């Protein structure tokens, strides 16, 4: 847990001082189960330039991720990429992610995702391969909150999937 806290703190420190290319590749995903709405509410933070590069490479496109220059099929590409790289299973059944939208926060892209009609559960399997196809040393921190209890994962290439239980 201390290692994940250190990585998370580093992410926010580095984003404040980042200029140009960087050597630290990290995303942070927060998954929270909303018992009343029976849904998973997901927020993923990635560096804009890294995410833009992976979308351009993966979809052979010329996407510019910025509030000023964005045009074309950006939403479709983001949704498709997220559905390929971020996967959740409950009781062995894969869930359908619904990409809701994004916002820009300095050098980070904040992605909003939801999964509806999720009954209460004890175990969730998380696969997070975001940016691992572009960066060998990409690390993806995932925090899952169920019934006010939070558990965290550190996922990376060669270890993209983990299960968490919430008894």
Q: Which range in 4-8, 12-16, 120-124 is most confidently predicted, on average pLDDT? A: 120-124
Measure the CA–CA gap between 112 and 134, rounded to whole angstroms: 22
Q: What is the mean pLDDT of residues 128-156?
A: 96
Q: Is the dihedral of CA 131, 51, 116, 164 positive or negative?
A: positive
Nearest by Cα to 11 from 42, 46, 54, 43: 46
Asked if residue 11 has pLDDT above 80, the reply is: no
Distance in Å from the first CA to the final CA of the chain:
19
Residue 23's pLDDT band, with cuts at 50, 70 and 90, is low
pLDDT of residue 22: 56
Name the residue with tokens 């010329």: 62
Nearest by Cα to 151 from 132, 123, 131: 123
Q: 98-128 pLDDT, tens per residue?
A: 999 999 999 999 999 999 999 999 999 999 9
69 or 115, greater pLDDT = 115
Q: What residues form DSSP beta bridges with 29?
A: 44, 142
pLDDT of residue 91: 86
pLDDT of residue 66: 86
């Amino acid at each position: 847990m201390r290692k994940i806290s250190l990585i998370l703190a580093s992410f926010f420190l580095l984003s404040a001082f980042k200029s140009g290319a960087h050597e630290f590749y990290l995303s942070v995903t927060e998954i929270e189960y909303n018992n009343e709405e029976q849904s998973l509410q997901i927020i993923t933070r990635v560096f804009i330039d890294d995410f833009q590069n992976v979308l351009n490479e993966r979809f052979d496109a010329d996407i510019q991720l910025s509030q000023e220059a964005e045009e074309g099929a950006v939403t479709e590409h983001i949704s498709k990429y997220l559905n390929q790289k971020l996967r959740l299973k409950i009781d062995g059944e894969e869930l359908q992610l619904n990409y809701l939208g994004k916002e820009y926060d300095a050098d980070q892209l904040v992605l909003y995702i939801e999964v509806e009609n999720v009954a209460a559960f004890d175990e969730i399997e998380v696969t997070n391969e975001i940016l691992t196809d572009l960066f060998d040393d990409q690390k993806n921190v995932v925090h899952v909150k169920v019934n006010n209890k939070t558990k965290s994962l550190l996922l990376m290439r060669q270890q993209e999937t983990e299960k968490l239980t919430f008894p």
